[in-house]
Structure formats: C-alpha cells, structure tokens
Amino acid sequence: MKRVQVALWVAITLIFAACETNLTQPNFVQDSVIEFGGNSLAKDLVYVAELDSILPDSTVYGPLDDSTKIFWATGGELIPGDYWVDNLHGSPYKTHLYAEMKASFGRLVSVKIAYPSNMEYLDAKDKWTGITAGGWFSAKAVRTGLFGGGVLTTAEGYDVEDEGGGGQH
C-alpha cells in the first residue's frame, strides 16, 4: 500500500508542477537576458539611456563587443554604455538620454532633440555646439554633460558611450 501512496504523491506533485510551469515557447523579446561581466568582479552597470515606452517595430540593441547578441526592444529598456541602438526599417524612435553620455552616429545625420538640458552636438566641422532649445540638428554625435538629459528622436543607429560615470545604476 505504501508504494501506491508514494506513486500517488509523485504523480500529484508532477501534475501540480506541470500546471504551474509555462509550457509555451518563451518570447525572445520579453525573456531576453543581457549578460554582463564574466569571471571578473562585477562592476555596477551604468545606464546612460532609456528607450521610449512606445517604439516602432524592429527596434533593436546590443553590446558593441559582441555582435551575436541582438535584442528586440519592446519599449522602456535601459541601455548601458558600450551598446548600440538601431531600427532595422529606418523608422524614427525616441531615446531618453541620461547625464554624461554620448550617442555617436559615425556620420552626419538629422536628429530631433526635445527637452535638452546641458546637451551639445558635434556638427559637420567637428565642433561641439551647445543645444539651448529643442529642434532638428545635423549631428555626428550628441552628448550630455553633468546633470544633462533630453529626448533624442532619430531613424539612425548609434553607439552609446558612458562619458563620465553618470546616468543611473
């Protein structure tokens, strides 16, 4: 009789565990895990940008040093330094920039800046020019200073750099 009871308890436990487990295929976008560090001591992550909560389809991001890791953005993702962001279809998307960061485009592109605070852009002559009001700019890069920030709208991909340890941890 004890074998029957043990078998019954095992069956009940397995059925309960199966009901509690999501048996569907995981959604790549929602279940993506960004891996940081390695075997070395962990360093606090510094997030220098945040993708807008509403993004066009095919907005992606990933680490600069590993082209095999590409993450589909769903909106609101925090982006650390040494990452890139882009839209595969060239659709405009918004990024909220934190303090002491730089977004580099690699060439002169048209960007829209809203709510600038202690921001500047790199112009066609490689001169940093302060942004005092929102608008459209032709820029090779955009950066924020200490206590700076703003909203960047672009259809171009860019590399994100931590300029001085600012941002959020």
- In this prediction, residue 51 carries a pLDDT of 98
- In this prediction, residue 32 carries a pLDDT of 36
- In this prediction, residue 43 carries a pLDDT of 53
- In this prediction, residue 95 carries a pLDDT of 97
* Residues facing residue 71 across a β-bridge: 61
- In this prediction, residue 2 carries a pLDDT of 61
Cα dihedral 45, 48, 49, 50 sign: positive
Q: What whole-number distance in Å separates Cα of residue 48 and Cα of residue 81?
A: 6
Over the chain (169 residues), the average pLDDT of each successive run of 10 is: 53 46 32 38 74 96 94 96 96 96 97 98 97 97 96 97 65
